[in-house]
Amino acid sequence: MKLSRRYFAQILGISGLATTFYPLATKAVNNSQDLQTKIINLFSSLPGQKAMEVLAIKNNTSWKVSLNPEMSLFCGSSFKVYVLTEFLRQMEAGKVTFTDKLSIDDNVRTLSSPVFEELSGKTTALIALEAMMMHSDNTATDMILHHINPEKVRQLIEEIGLKNTIIPDSTRIFFSYLLGADNNIDLGWQKISQEINNLKNPTRNIINNRQTMMSSPQDFVNFYAEALQGKFFQKSETLTEFKRILSLPNIINKFIPEGALGYVKGGSISFTPQYALSIAGGVRFSENHWAYYSFLINWDDSTDKLEPEIANSFLKSISQTMTLVMNH
């Protein structure tokens, strides 16, 4: 059994206040059947369960294309955007700061951490946030979750109406649960790092109602359409920092058209025979032309051979979709 983001990471060029949604103040138009069909067909040959949604707004006119938009699928690290948002909201409230010192040690260390897995000491919350979003470092994620409390993130998710979204207590508790631990039980770094390579198959499914990372295209698109316009923040500088951090991943250059400003959080898992890929975020083509998107795919493969081909096809389909949306 392997747990990695190896092929997707190589393709993407990476290391490893109550709030509610408000109706968009735009005039909706019927999307042409040809364009909708073109976009849906880009994903039709992909295996397994797939879901996507794109909401485009140009000159106060909106249109949308979707496939299974309410389907909740495993989204991997894409859920970390909700963690980032809650941290920034707590920072506005004076509860945390970017300069808070967080410990890196075996009490928080976990799998799939390209930045912090082999390091010990202290770092600032800002560095941890950047590692979480740019490199999907799970140790950094757990450091932030411990600092702000995962229940606060769940409260945010509930307050803004994301009905298809589930997050874990921590990524390490998620891995512990997959390896057979009772719900909410942390097996600890030593046991997890030993057991992850000793089992032929995961004890539990990555899709479950206890410890998982799941969301739907509809939830992601609704969230990003509000978040990137500042609906969840009180200060303009907070929105600026939110956008800056979301613009860090190198994945942006792989599917966002040249000249556009992209904001993204991707996610993936290779947990043979279970696999998942996710890309969600927003793109600013021009001052009056935005799009918000989410693409998810979950599939099974006992051969452990299909991931590179599927990841390439998935990313190519997203890139072609973004070009169609930009030109519409």
Q: pLDDT for 51-82, tens place per residue?
A: 999 999 999 899 999 999 999 999 999 999 99
Q: What does the block give as tokens for 212?
A: 């998982």
**This prediction's pTM:** 0.91
Longest CA–CA span in the chain (Å) reads 56
- Beta bridge partner(s), residue 123: 102
- Considering only 154-158, 165-169, 202-206, which range has the smallest mean pLDDT? 202-206
CA-based nearest residue to 4, from 276, 299, 198: 276
Are 173 and 184 within 8 A, CB to CB? yes
Helices and strands in the chain, H and E counts: 12, 11
pLDDT above 70 covers a percentage of the chain that reads: 89
pLDDT in tens, 201-235: 667 999 999 999 999 999 999 999 999 999 999 99
Distance from chain centroid for Cα 150:
16
Average of pLDDT values for 250-263? 94
Residue 201's pLDDT is what? 62
> How far, in Å, CA of 292 to CA of 21, rounded?
15
243 DSSP assignment:
H
For position 176, what pLDDT does the model report?
Answer: 95
Per-residue pLDDT band for 199 (boundaries 50, 70, 90) equals confident
Q: Are 300 and 273 in contact (CB under 8 A)?
A: yes
CA gap 281, 212 in Å, rounded: 20
- Taking 60 as the threshold, does the pLDDT of residue 314 lie above it? yes
Predicted confidence at residue 303, as pLDDT, reads: 87
153, 206 in Cβ contact below 8 A? Answer: no
List CB contacts of 93: < 8 A, sequence separation 6 or more.
none
Domain range enclosing 252: 3-327
What's 85's domain CATH number? Answer: 3.40.710.10
Residues 6+ apart with CB under 8 A from 155: none
Query: How many domains does the structure of the chain reveal?
Result: 1
